[in-house]
Amino acid sequence: MSYRIALSEVLTSVIAPSTEVTGGQGKFPRGAVTALGRAGLLGLTVSAEFDGGGLGLSEAAEVVARTARVCPATAAVLQSHYVAVAVIESYGSSWVRGEIAAGRHLSSLALAEDGPSEQGVEAQLWASRCTAARSGDVVALRARKHQVVAAGEADSYVWSSRPLTAPEGLTLWVVPAHAPDLFVPARPGGGGPDGSATSTVLADPVLVPADAMLGGDGGGLDIVLRTVLPWLLELRAAAGVEALRPPAVDVGSARRPADSLASS
């Protein structure tokens, strides 16, 4: 089954019927995330080596765009997930990549450390106030991350900190959401669509294994420039363009022009 057909089925059977609960009541779309995972859409951009979809940014943008027409909250969750997965796909462990490909793992970004701004999250990616201190094989990360989509709902966060020893730059980590001493306030911090669970995540500190580092120490800025920012801007644009269009009347037949030309 092509990812386009799979997406149409999930939009019709799961996401569209729950939009009132998600957007109107602000409830995280857990059923939608589960259905997207089972349909192979959470693993859309994971390598086929791990039984993922093996696809790229253009296909992820299409999924986000079509989802945004039906449920902005679910689209926001997918947007953050796909950006995080782009980093994990290049630098993460085989186990996490396999879990994402199997649809059992939702990831998100924990990069911003200020409240909502006119420039958005991308204006906050160049530096971090998060401290990182290593003791043996364990690293303590201490920070207050803002505008985290799926806060308390994701299985992991792609997290930025100051370098451990490098003189400048950023260091990126994959932080398990179940790690002790991660705290999400009961009242969401705001900044995202209702139902997207966009909030603050506190680490005071959170302990992660040293091998949770993504890329080299101090090399995170290069990853942000080459991977995070292009994916973030493209997916945000895709969601924004669709949000300006009239709502789809028939979700199952809501296809972009490319749908009639190709499938994969």
pLDDT in tens, 202-235: 999 999 999 999 999 999 999 999 999 999 999 9
What is the extent of the structural domain holding 175?
3-245
Q: What is the mean pLDDT of the chain?
A: 87
User: For residue 29, what are the contacts with CB-CB under 8 A and spacing of at least 6?
Assistant: 15, 18, 22, 71, 73, 74, 77, 195
Residue 252 lies inside a defined structural domain of this protein: no
State the chain's maximal CA–CA distance in angstroms.
Answer: 57
pLDDT the model gives residue 115: 54
pLDDT the model gives residue 139: 97
- What's the whole-model pTM score? 0.88
Over range 52-75, report the average pLDDT. 97
Residue 190 lies inside a defined structural domain of this protein: yes
State how far the Cα of 231 lies from the Cα of 82, in Å rounded to an integer: 8
Q: Domain containing 103 — which CATH number?
A: 2.40.110.10
Residue 142 lies inside a defined structural domain of this protein: yes
Residue 79 lies inside a defined structural domain of this protein: yes
State how far the Cα of 40 lies from the Cα of 62, in Å rounded to an integer: 15
Question: Which of 97, 85, 109, 106 lies closest to 38, judged by CA?
Answer: 106
On whether the CB atoms of residues 45 and 89 are closer than 8 A, the answer is: yes
Residue 264 lies inside a defined structural domain of this protein: no
Question: What would the two tokens of residue 157 be?
Answer: 């966060």
Residue 253 lies inside a defined structural domain of this protein: no
Overall domain count for the chain: 1
Residue 211 lies inside a defined structural domain of this protein: yes
Segment (H or E) for 135: strand 131-135
Handedness of CA 174, 91, 160, 75 (dihedral sign): negative
CA distance readout (Å), 210 to 30, 129, 138:
31, 19, 5
Q: What is the pLDDT of residues 30-50, one digit of tens each?
A: 999 999 999 999 999 999 999
| Angle made by CA atoms 255, 61, 6, in degrees to the nearest 5 | 50
Residue 256 lies inside a defined structural domain of this protein: no
Q: Please say if the pLDDT value at position 23 is more than 90.
A: no
Q: What is the pLDDT of residues 101-136, one digit of tens each?
A: 999 999 999 998 865 544 455 556 777 889 999 999
Strand partners, 96: none
